[in-house]
Amino acid sequence: MQDATEDGDREVVIEVRGLRNQFGDHVVHEGLDLDVYRGEILGVVGGSGTGKSVLLRTIAGLIEPVAGTVRVLGTDVLDAGSEERSRLEARWGVMFQDGALFSSLTVRENVEVPMKVVEDLDPAITRTLAGLKITMAGLPSTAEGKYPSELSGGMRKRAGLARALALDPEIVFLDEPTAGLDPIGAAEFDELIHGLSRSLGLTVFLVTHDLDTLHAVCDRIAVLAERKVLVTGTMHDMLSVDHPWVHAYFHGPRARAALDTATSKEGG
Amino acid sequence: MASEQLANIEVEVREGRTTAVLEGVFTIRTISAVEDALKDIRPDAKLLVDIEKLEHLDTAGAWSLIRLEQRLAQGGGNFELRGATSQAAALLDTVATAFDRQKRADGSDGSEPEQGLFERLGRRVAAGGATLLGMTGYLGLFLSRLARLAIRPRQLRLTALVHHCEDAGVKAVPIVALMGFLIGVVLAFQGAVQLRQFGAEVFVVDLIAVSILRELGILLTAIIVAGRTASAFTAAIGSMKMREEIDAMRTLGLDTASVLFVPRILALLLMLPILGLIANASGLVGGALMSWIELGISPEMFRVRLLDGDNVNHLGVGLVKAPVFALIIGVVGCYYGMQVKGNADSLGQQTSRSVVAAIFLVIVADALFSIFFSELGV
């Protein structure tokens, strides 16, 4: 793995070493190493089937890898006891692709679910805080009482984000946050993630296909290919990598267009 | 870890100025204690809040501070913050913006007004009426599609029909046969005990014949089928509805009634009489067996006695109800399937409703049949 950024003294919050994931004969990851530093927004890209979501799920402890270690906030995710794990889970939040909201609960009740682990919390406070999180995620307060099936895709994603942020986690995992959103909605969502991560001091692990998102919000990009993290670095670093897939990805017409808009925004 | 985290607030009043020094962590885990401590600060205080020693501040803590600030602003007090890191300041800013937006929108608090007893009752009755009306609509839909099929039989989806016949009919044979057999055994046994007192043991044959052929065979079969098949119909159609498959069908020009309802209800119409017959037969076998063991009525005698009276009529009276029960079960299953909304919860709810409604309506129909037949004197 060639690391293009030098962050020797920054705190590593997610540390993946020698990860191997395998489903039957199909090896998804082999010898995968990855570091995520505190406070950064890391974008994970890769072709379809390179195991981006599998990596996210492994780090979040939903998939048990065949080999390797995953340490999050200093705790070994794979080895942690149930108490250690639940303590860890309160310190991270996950937003799944379509929000994965509980369909039988309203949006507000969904956001209140993670807060239930906090003992002796006044229901009125829970209610207000949930409402606050929903507003912070950019949903109108009329959405609070609605059920997930009554929301549009973009609103469900926002509600999913609100639930992921319910306990003020240190790390949030976002699985394709802008997939299926219209360009305007996607741009707003990018802005939302960026703004929240800065004001709440979040570390964001973001799986995406969206080049605009990479440009707009990611501090660093990790490219998954050939079953491992091929290269990490800033958007700028990516342009000089000459691996064929990386080159095709970051020099394709869509990438050029995204880069152009990003630079023109910075210029103007 | 969680239990070690504490918030500490020291409030000092000096020369008309109040100073609050905040220490420890201000998070969702300590928010209850924080709110308690901050409650005592008077709304007209000239307050200086020092958060320099604060180790950790999250959204909940920030919200608490923002609320305090607004309370003081309303009460004519003064709020000043000292020692906020840039991070904390950014957080406070974000929370304040969201809080403002939330408060501005809070005018209409979505809670519904309490309903009185009579209003609730009225709504229930109206909803029940609407359900019954809806089901009648589905019955009409099915009959009209059936009429269309009578004109153009080629439109019948034979594969689906056979599939549902197997699912609802053939696969139900073991349970229905076993149930019939056991009912026969129970009736013979109970009847023997009672009839022996009068020395009228031989009438046990009539007892079994009348009760099984006329009532129990078909009624219990219908109840079992309602439990098995109405729920299966609701779940299958409901999950298709949930995944927008029904909408997809409509856009493809497929008629949901002919594709989904007709094969299912028709399969039940064909299968329920057969299942009823099987239940009757195994009930008689069970009854005959028990009469033989308990009362010494030989199978030959049982047969003669059975064919002697008008027991064959009872068979007709029983089986004539089968198509009606089949229609009820099929229509109820399909109707509730179409009522499923877009979430998993509603699927479960409608499925259990469909079973309850199907069984209930089958029993009601059976009662109506009894009155009808007794008026006719059959």
d(CA B170, CA B22) in angstroms, rounded, equals 74
Q: Do B90 and A198 touch (CB under 8 A)?
A: yes
Q: Which residues of A touch B90 (CB under 8 A)?
A: 198-199
Q: Which residues of A touch B99 (CB under 8 A)?
A: 132, 135
B112 confidence band (pLDDT: 50, 70, 90): low
Q: Which residues of B touch A135 (CB under 8 A)?
A: 98-99, 101-102, 105
Q: B276: helix, coil or strand?
A: helix
Side-by-side strand order, sheet with A228-233: A2-3, A228-233, A220-225, A41-46, A203-207, A171-175, A92-95
Pure H helices in B197-251? 204-208, 217-225, 231-242, 245-251
Stretch B275-303: mean pLDDT, rounded? 92
Q: Which residues of A touch B32 (CB under 8 A)?
A: 120-122, 125
User: Residues B352, B355, B359, B362: what is their CA dihedral angle, to the nearest 10 degrees?
Assistant: 140
CB-based contacts of A79, cutoff 8 Å, min separation 6 = none
At residue B193, the pLDDT reads: 87
CB B7 within 8 Å of CB B26: yes
Q: A36: helix, coil or strand?
A: strand
Q: Do B90 and A199 touch (CB under 8 A)?
A: yes
Inter-chain contacts counted by CB atoms under 8 A, chains A and B = 79
What is the overall mean pLDDT for chain B? 88
pLDDT tens-digit profile of A205-238? 999 888 888 888 899 999 988 888 888 888 888 8
Q: Which of A38-42, B37-41, B240-244 has the lowest mean pLDDT?
A: B37-41
Name every residue in A having a CB less than 8 A away from some CB of B.
87, 103-104, 115, 118, 120-122, 125, 128-129, 131-133, 135-136, 140-142, 144-145, 147-149, 165, 167-168, 195-196, 198-201
Q: What share of chain B is helix, strand, coil (3-state, %, to 5)?
A: 75, 10, 15
d(CA B141, CA A19) in angstroms, rounded, equals 59
A47 has a pLDDT exceeding 90:
no
**Exposed e or buried b for every residue in B332-367, given b needs 16+ CB within 10 A?**
bbbbbbbbbbebeebbebbbebbbebbbebbeebbe
Q: Do B343 and A103 touch (CB under 8 A)?
A: yes
At residue B327, the pLDDT reads: 96
Q: A92: helix, coil or strand?
A: strand
At residue A4, the pLDDT reads: 42
* B28 reaches A (C-beta below 8 A): yes
Fold (topology level) of B7-102 = Transcription Regulator spoIIAA (3.30.750)
Q: Which residues of B touch A104 (CB under 8 A)?
A: 343-345
Q: Which residues of B touch A198 (CB under 8 A)?
A: 90
- B40: nearest Cα among B60, B63, B68: B68
Closest approach of A204 to chain B, Cα-based (Å): 16
**Domain residue extents for chain B:** 7-102, 154-376
pLDDT tens-digit profile of A160-197? 999 998 888 889 999 988 887 888 888 888 888 888 88
d(CA A173, CA B345) in angstroms, rounded, equals 27
Q: A177: helix, coil or strand?
A: coil
Determine which of B57, B59, B101 to mutate to test the interface with A (most A C-beta atoms within 10 Å).
Answer: B59
Q: Which residues of B touch A201 (CB under 8 A)?
A: 87, 91
How far, in whole angstroms, is CA A138 from its chain's centroid? 18
For B89, name the nearest residue in chain A, comparing CA atoms only.
A199
Between B31, B95, B106, which is nearest A121 by CB? B31
* B95 reaches A (C-beta below 8 A): yes
CB A174 within 8 Å of CB A53: no
Q: A233: helix, coil or strand?
A: strand
Q: B197: helix, coil or strand?
A: coil
Tokens of B22: 């905040």
At residue A22, the pLDDT reads: 87
Side-by-side strand order, sheet with A75-76: A26-37, A12-23, A67-72, A75-76
pLDDT tens-digit profile of B63-75? 888 888 888 888 8
pLDDT tens-digit profile of B309-320? 777 788 999 999
At residue A1, the pLDDT reads: 43
- A214: nearest Cα among A197, A233, A228, A198: A233
- B27: nearest Cα among A113, A158, A117: A117
For B341, name the nearest residue in chain A, comparing CA atoms only.
A149
Q: Where are the beta strands (DSSP E) in A96-202?
A: 171-175
- B277: nearest Cα among B228, B306, B318: B318
Tell me the ipTM for this assembly.
0.77
Q: A18: helix, coil or strand?
A: strand
Tokens 């019939």, residue located? B180
CA atoms within 13 A on the CB side of B138: 24
Q: Do B60 and A168 touch (CB under 8 A)?
A: yes
Between B94, B95, B105, which is nearest A141 by CB? B105
Backbone angles phi, psi at A61, to 5 degrees: 80, 15
pLDDT tens-digit profile of B163-204? 999 999 999 999 999 999 999 999 999 988 888 888 888 888
B108 has a pLDDT exceeding 70:
no
At residue A265, the pLDDT reads: 64
Q: Which residues of A touch B35 (CB under 8 A)?
A: 122, 125
- B83: nearest Cα among B23, B32, B131: B23
pLDDT tens-digit profile of B260-271? 999 999 999 999
For A144, name the nearest residue in chain B, comparing CA atoms only.
B110
At residue A9, the pLDDT reads: 66
Q: Which residues of B touch A165 (CB under 8 A)?
A: 59
* B25 reaches A (C-beta below 8 A): no
C-alpha distance from residue B86 to each of A133, A197, B56, B82, B92 (Å): 21, 14, 13, 12, 10
At residue B130, the pLDDT reads: 94
At residue B253, the pLDDT reads: 83
d(CA A25, CA A237) in angstroms, rounded, equals 34
At residue B59, the pLDDT reads: 85
Nearest-10 crossing angle of helices A123-136, A153-164: 130
CB-based contacts of A73, cutoff 8 Å, min separation 6 = A13, A88, A91, A92, A170, A171
Q: Do B63 and A142 touch (CB under 8 A)?
A: no
d(CA B75, CA B81) in angstroms, rounded, equals 17
B10 has a pLDDT exceeding 90:
no
